[in-house]
Amino acid sequence: MSAVDQQFDVVIVGGGLSGLLACKYIKAAGLTCVVLEATDDIGGVWKYRDRPNGKGGVTFSTVSTSSKSVNEFSDFPMPDDYPPFQRHTQVFKYLNDYADHFNLRDSILLNREATRIGKTGELWTTKDSEGDSYQSRQLIVCSGMHQFPNKNYEQDPRYRHATVSMIHSSSYKRLTDDYFGKDIVIMGGGETASDLATELTHAADSVTVCIPHGQWLFPAVTPVEVRTNGARRATMVSDTFSSRLRRLVDPTFATFESHLQTKAHFTSRTFEKWGGKNGHGIAEWENDAPYYGQFFNKNAQIVELVHRGQIEPKRSIRSVIGDMVEFCDGSKKRADLIIFCSGYITRFPFFADEKYGGAINDRFKFVVHNDDPSLAFIGFTRPLVGSFMGLSEMQSLYVSKLFSGQIALPEKAVRDESIAEEKLFQELIFSATTNRIEGLVNFQSYMDDLASLAGVRPDYWKLFFKNPVKWYFAISAAHNNCQFLLNDETFHDEIFRRYRNYHRDNLKVRVHIYPLIVNLVPALFNGKSRIVMAIQDALRTALDYSLILLLSPVLLFRVFFPPDRRWKRKKRRMIRSGRAGILLEQVRAKYASEMDS
């Protein structure tokens, strides 16, 4: 395709997962577009490259941390034989199949980096690395959050006298002989830090993991008994705990209500019961962030490695002199290598005018530029639990409807209020991480908000009156983006096929209320003999249904007055009365010392 000085409705920068989704939805909305991709292939971080290229990307052994139910796109299921968590090669293949299925390749130009983007009058002009330029009425930036490694350690005075090798995680691609017999220190509490630490224990003499601000660690698979397709399994993929019904029983976001006196809900109590404080109980990595008030690291296998003595947990580094690392607890250790899993900085160097870049939190719903709504950013929010994939799809759908005029953008005053509210509550709720992680969102509530704006929020009432059994299936199924097609009955066969795949027996609410039962009667679940198990089964079923009965008034109330709507109204009241501001000051004071450490 030759696109020299061509005009398009939309130019899309970046051909990763977000760029592909944006392209698909923009084309489906009847608009013309071109996708400019800087590298020689689509797929973004999911394209494995054996040599570090200074950008973030999967390593040789990366497996997705989010699972199939939240990863697959609404109208393009992952193959049935894909495992719950996919190898990076499988995600990459899925993205390529997606591009083929929706005929996206004709709209993608490879090896074309957008180098300069400016706006004159109503038209955006995008220049690429080949010297070609493209004009468009609208622009979507999908350049990704993993382009510019955060190497702040290079300026950090603590490492001024270090002679030990120090690298950013983006330089690590695979386990090689170079790591054999080495003493390695890893800085960071995110999933990359966990992945690298786990892998390096296979070769290194010692692996020490420092998590400076503490971290919630959340097992990707939880020890909850479920029955799927008639077979009993002793575990459940944690992502599939995400049904609407569970959110009614245990509305996680309500914990935000009173940040300082966090209400511990069933699920959080259960995780603490299983693993200890912050889901792991390792003193060096604990913090006071409430459940759902901090990004969850779902690669919790490092916890077991700590207990097995393969990983040494530490809080932070006080200084490094030569190759001697002194930790904040006063202990010292010689190291051969420090790997900084310090994340990435989001930048948009291609904008001729800096005002178009700006902070993620300054955009309407983290997507639309508030002063120039012909500019949108997709793929710049992070889910607490959930997936980038799901978020990028919903953002793409929303932007396509907006850009094609199918829906209107709320008035500026409404947008301003929404942005101010999001900002304030971002800081309030995610105070333990917000200074370091931009665009963190509560996956389900955020998706629902965008779905409402895009006019695709499922009409559960209509479904209830039409087919209560389907309604129950739908509200008790795991989160899957196909739910946003529920209002269109032509998709029902596929939607309910997927739901059945995740929870064949979801008419039993057991899965959703199990955490509650575990809290009440944990002793009942430790039996071994057949008789004990039969008694357990009977008791469990009795308990399930008595709890459903007990809870039904609460559930009924919550169905009619959904907690997320009440929570939204409460947020407004808190802002207007000034209570939110006071709370924020308290939270800032509480975390000030923590963040400084």
Ligand X SMILES: Cc1cc2nc3c(=O)[nH]c(=O)nc-3n(C[C@H](O)[C@H](O)[C@H](O)COP(=O)(O)OP(=O)(O)OC[C@H]3O[C@@H](n4cnc5c(N)ncnc54)[C@H](O)[C@@H]3O)c2cc1C
Binding site for ligand X (CB under 6 A): 13-19, 36-39, 44-46, 56-58, 62, 64-66, 113-114, 142-144, 146-147, 350, 379, 387-389, 392
Residue 432 identity (one-letter amino acid): A
Cα–Cα dist 318/236, whole Å: 40
Q: How many CA atoms lie within 13 A of 351 on its CB side?
A: 14
Of the pair 431, 442, the CB lying nearest ligand X is at 442
Q: How far is CA 165 from CA 154, 168, 221, 406, in A?
A: 12, 10, 35, 54
Of the pair 66, 297, the CB lying nearest ligand X is at 66
Question: Do 253 and 445 touch, CB atoms closer than 8 A?
Answer: yes
CB of 133 to ligand X, least distance (A): 13
What does the H/E/C string look like for 399-417?
Answer: HHHHHCCCCCCCCHHHHHH
Using DSSP's 3-state secondary structure scheme, residue 207 falls into strand
Residues 6+ away with beta carbon under 8 Å from 36:
11, 12, 13, 14, 15, 109, 112, 113, 114, 126, 128, 134
Of the pair 15, 458, the CB lying nearest ligand X is at 15
CB of 499 to ligand X, least distance (A): 21
Of the pair 44, 219, the CB lying nearest ligand X is at 44
Cα–Cα dist 251/239, whole Å: 15
Of the pair 16, 189, the CB lying nearest ligand X is at 16
Give the other-Cβ count within 10 Å of 339's Cβ.
Answer: 25
Of the pair 39, 242, the CB lying nearest ligand X is at 39
Question: Do 407 and 455 touch, CB atoms closer than 8 A?
Answer: yes
Task: Give the N- to C-terminal CA distance of the chain in Å, as an integer.
Answer: 54
Cα–Cα dist 324/312, whole Å: 16
Cα–Cα dist 450/11, whole Å: 22
CB of 169 to ligand X, least distance (A): 9
Residue 122 burial by CB count (10 A; 0-12/13-18/19+): exposed, middle or buried? exposed
CB of 360 to ligand X, least distance (A): 12
CB of 584 to ligand X, least distance (A): 29
Cα–Cα dist 150/170, whole Å: 10
CB of 53 to ligand X, least distance (A): 9
CB of 206 to ligand X, least distance (A): 24
CB of 166 to ligand X, least distance (A): 20
Of the pair 54, 79, the CB lying nearest ligand X is at 54
Of the pair 17, 184, the CB lying nearest ligand X is at 17
CB of 107 to ligand X, least distance (A): 14
Of the pair 44, 515, the CB lying nearest ligand X is at 44
